[in-house]
Amino acid sequence: MLAWTIVFFIVFFNTFRGARSVDADLIHSARFLGANERQIMTTVIVPSALAWTFASLTPSISFALIGVVVGEFLGGESGGGLGDLIIQSLGTLNAADMMVALLTLGVIGIVMALGIKQVEMRLLRWRPEYRTRP
């Protein structure tokens, strides 16, 4: 729950800022070309907000992993997670298990970041940096 709360507010406020920062000229141009409010929302505002959303998702992965581990630290119950493994290996001075837990967290973070990047490239293919070049 802690990880979800951290990530939700970061992504929500960044998406909100993206929706509010749409260039007014783009909206006026769409209206001039005959777009209704729904078309403006789906073709102008949502793509702009998506760019801001994905900009906040990549750093949010780090915060989510930190939130999960800290939640396991504070939970106190042995749930068998990576945070619990870190606490147990700290108590027994087992450096090998601690390194396994930390490396696993690193790999999870990298895989999640690459997955977000793939989804971003697919959804934002209209942006110049994601267009395929011949």
What is the model's pLDDT at position 124? Answer: 81
Going along the chain from its start, the domains and CATH numbers come out as 2-130 (1.10.3720.10)
pTM of the entire structure?
0.72
Longest dimension (CA), the chain: 70
Please give the Cα distance from 11 to 33 (Å, whole number).
32
Q: What pLDDT shows up at residue 111?
A: 94
Task: Using CB atoms within 10 Å of the CB of residue 79, give its burial: 0 to 12 exposed, 13 to 18 middle, 19+ buried.
Answer: exposed
Q: Rounded CA gap, 56 and 50, in Å?
A: 10
Query: 100: left (phi > 0), else alpha (psi -120 to 50), else beta?
Result: alpha
| pLDDT value of position 76 | 64
List the pLDDT tens digit at each of the 134 positions of the chain.
778 888 899 899 998 998 888 888 989 999 999 999 999 998 889 888 888 898 898 889 888 888 888 888 777 666 678 888 888 888 888 899 899 989 999 999 999 999 998 888 888 877 777 776 55
